[in-house]
Copies of this chain bind each other. A is one copy, B any other.
Amino acid sequence: MSHDPFHHHLPIAAPLAGHRGDAAPSGAVLPEPLADGELGSDEVLQVGDLAKRSGKTVRAIHLYEELGLLRPNARSKGRFRLFGGDALVRVRWIGKLQDLGLSLGDIQAVVREWEQSSSAPGAMSKMREVYRQKLASTREQIRRLTALEAELADSLAYLETCDVCDPARLVSACTCCDRHEPQAPPELVSGFRAS
């Protein structure tokens, strides 16, 4: 969907879970216990609240709005943005799509497509198409990472042998020395040597 969604640089890991210790006071007799981050559908959030609950920054949320991915339900008298609980759902959804490898531009396209289509099954089938493609590429991605995982493990095993090496040995003699005789070094190891 982007011009070049693939090519190098995989992400590494995401925080995804801000640690907040504030659970609902036990035994509260309030209308809804509001498990963790959930909120009553009538709750009103300012951008800062939305940011905290979604783990994004205020700036990010503004950006999403600029891109048309999100709209406040209303504004206060003083022009403060006022969001409902659905905005939180939306922001989390955006985050998930980003995790899937969609750029904000991609998400923009998805949203526009959704908003412009009037026939429900038509829209749904387009969305399915997007998700189907993403499912395929996600699986491909998993395959690639799994291959890299194996290579890493191999390389680590290979490098273990070096522990027994003479500490005075020079690096120049390394990477494919006599200690690990028969096997050729894995690519992740032989890359060191080349200039």
Contact = CB atoms under 8 A, between A and B. Distances in A.
Interface string A103-118: 1000000000010011
Q: Of residues A92, A131, A187, which shows the largest number of chain B Cβ atoms within 10 Å of its Cβ?
A: A131
B128 A159 contact: yes
A149 B139 contact: yes
Contacts of A88: 194
Q: Of residues A8, A13, A90, which shows the largest number of chain B Cβ atoms within 10 Å of its Cβ?
A: A8
Q: How many copies does the complex hold?
A: 2
A148 B170 CA distance: 46
Contact of A187 (B10, B93, B135, B159): B93
B153 A135 contact: yes
Interface of A: 5-16, 70-71, 73, 86-90, 92-101, 103, 114, 117-125, 127-128, 131-132, 134-135, 137-142, 144-146, 148-149, 151-153, 155-156, 159-160, 162-163, 165-171, 173-174, 177, 187-195
